[in-house]
Structure 1
Amino acid sequence: MNTLEIDLERLEPVSVRCDASYLHVTLGDGVIITTPLWWYPRLLAATPEDLAQVELSPFGIHWPTIDEDLSITGLIEGRKAPGATPPAEAAE
């Protein structure tokens, strides 16, 4: 029987930052996942102070002041928040 062995420490987030357009998550193995911020409307609408209050866990990221949670699996799979609209479409 074949088994898939995954070193979970490699997938654990070690740092998170948001700029005006993107969310950047650095994992334990040095890989950086970058996604458009519009994928997560709560993050896009958050203040810099809210974004700075981030909690990391072995499997995800939590922003308590805006009640937003993202899983590392979801980031890797490219899952957007329900209702996320690209900026060009939102402007129409």
Structure 2
Amino acid sequence: MSILTTNSPKAKEIWFKEDKIYFLLADGRELGVPIEWFPKLRDANPDQLKNWRLIGSGDGVHWEELDEDISIEGLLVTI
């Protein structure tokens, strides 16, 4: 019996610049998307935006105070 494995994209870091959110992926790619796609992030203050953590070893990003999650794989499917 064989075991199927997937190499889902993983985030290493995120940052905000002007009207975009950027993701540095473990494979070296950088992804920038409009913050407008995420109303909770768009409306958040700078301190709230800085209060994030990686979830699932980089499968996504979570903002506890804002109750917002972003899936890296979901972003790649969207763009």
Q: Hey, what's the Cα distance between the residues in 2 that align with 1:45 and 1:73?
A: 24
> In the alignment, which residue of structure 2 is the partner of 1:31?
29
Unpaired runs of at least 5, structure 1:
80-92
Describe the SS at the equivalent of 1:62.
strand
How far does residue 65 in structure 1 lie from its aligned partner after superposition? Answer: 1.1
How far does residue 53 in structure 1 lie from its aligned partner after superposition? Answer: 0.5
How far does residue 28 in structure 1 lie from its aligned partner after superposition? Answer: 0.4
> In the alignment, which residue of structure 1 is the partner of 2:69?
69
- Give the ranges of 4+ consecutive aligned residues of structure 1 lying more than 6 Å apart after TM superposition: none
Describe the SS at the equivalent of 1:74.
helix
1:44 aligns with 2:42: yes
Q: Hey, what's the Cα distance between the residues in 2 that align with 1:23 and 1:71?
A: 13
- 1:69 partner letter: D
Q: Hey, what's the Cα distance between the residues in 1 that align with 2:78 and 2:21?
A: 12
**% of aligned pairs identical?**
30
Describe the SS at the equivalent of 1:30.
coil
Describe the SS at the equivalent of 2:76.
helix
RMSD: 1.7
Report which of the two structures shows the higher radius of gyration computed on alpha carbons. Answer: 1
1:53 aligns with 2:51: yes
How far does residue 5 in structure 1 lie from its aligned partner after superposition? Answer: 5.5
